[in-house]
Amino acid sequence: MSAVFMFDALREATDEEMQSDSSVFVLGEDVGHYGGSYKVTKDLHAKYGDLRVLDTPIAENSFMGMAIGAAITGLRPIVEGMNMSFLLLAFNQISNNAGMLRYTSGGNFKIPIVIRGPGGVGRQLGAEHSQRLEAYFQAIPGLKIVACSTPYNAKGLLKSAIRDNNPVILFEHVLLYNLKEELPNIEYFLPLDKAEMVRKGHDVTIVTYSRMRHHVMEAVQTLLKEGYDPEVVDLISLKPIDIDCINKSLMKTHKLIIVEECMKTGGIAAEIIAQVNDSLFDQLDAPIVRLSSHDIPTPYNGTLEKATVINPQQIIASVRRLMIT
């Protein structure tokens, strides 16, 4: 076991897969000599050369299209978005091309592409750099979407994503890159379609993902002292949602809180609520609680920015209210 930062875990995954498969390559803005905006590709250009760690112009639609074309020919591109917000400029390529070409080609083409990079609300990055795009992409057929929350699952998910023959979007939170954790010294892979049971409990199911996992676990420490016993599920997979894991938990707790950094309207929580209502409504002892960010552009002002995102105290208060209903 060795302790590594999340950005190093992602780098290790990329390095290992590039070493084992010559068809794997990285492209994006400043991924080469600069080493990536958060150093996920640091020094890889020196090891693999400038054509396998390819610096691109600031033209997301162009290099996304190029990566999809490369995937069609049998290569396995990893596209790093300097900030995931910029990928809106490549939305057409991701939706109409990456998501649909395997179907529209009658199965003649596979699209083994990974799209990854930093997103979420950082610290005063401004509205255009604080986007949470998971709900934007969730509606696109043909994509797999995962969100890492720890160095361990970041590495295992990226390695699995690179080997998958379908387009995978990996969301990394900009404030988790310096999270440190011990990782196994042996190779491992994690499934792209399964949630993680973070903590077993009996009173209430709390479903979350990405950075909010850590806010939830901070809240849990207080809740345990107050005698509550919450069960915590980290979604990991945002498309498809592991509804079976949520259902199994609800069969035990019969109460559900969803905590997300995504916007409330049309967010990931909204989809979970719809699926739970479809299949397990009779198991609910109380209405589902949805804790989401405000439906506004993220303010630059630090105090206002903090107020838009769910915090541990709000989670604690929601559990208290739910447990007396």
- Show Cβ contacts of residue 110 under 8 Å, excluding neighbours closer than 6 positions: 71, 72, 102, 165, 166
* Cβ(302)–Cβ(310) below 8 Å: no
Active site annotation includes 129: yes
Give SS3 for 88: helix
Nearest to 206 by CA among 120, 289, 292, 278: 289
Residue 238 to residue 240: CA distance in whole angstroms: 6
The one catalytic residue among 45, 129, 173, 215: 129
DSSP 263-310: ESTT-HHHHHHHHHHHHHGGG-SSPPEEEEE-SSPPPSSHHHHHHHS-
Residue with tokens 């992409």: 137
* Cβ(286)–Cβ(319) below 8 Å: no
Active site annotation includes 60: yes
> How deeply is 252 buried, as exposed, middle or buried, from its count of CB atoms within 10 A (0-12, 13-18, 19+)?
middle
Residue 75 to residue 22: CA distance in whole angstroms: 9
* Cβ(271)–Cβ(241) below 8 Å: yes
* Cβ(245)–Cβ(194) below 8 Å: yes
Residue 117 to residue 132: CA distance in whole angstroms: 12
Strand segments (E) across 160-229: 168-173, 180-183, 196-199, 204-208
The one catalytic residue among 12, 17, 29, 60: 60
**Which residues are the active-site residues?**
60, 129
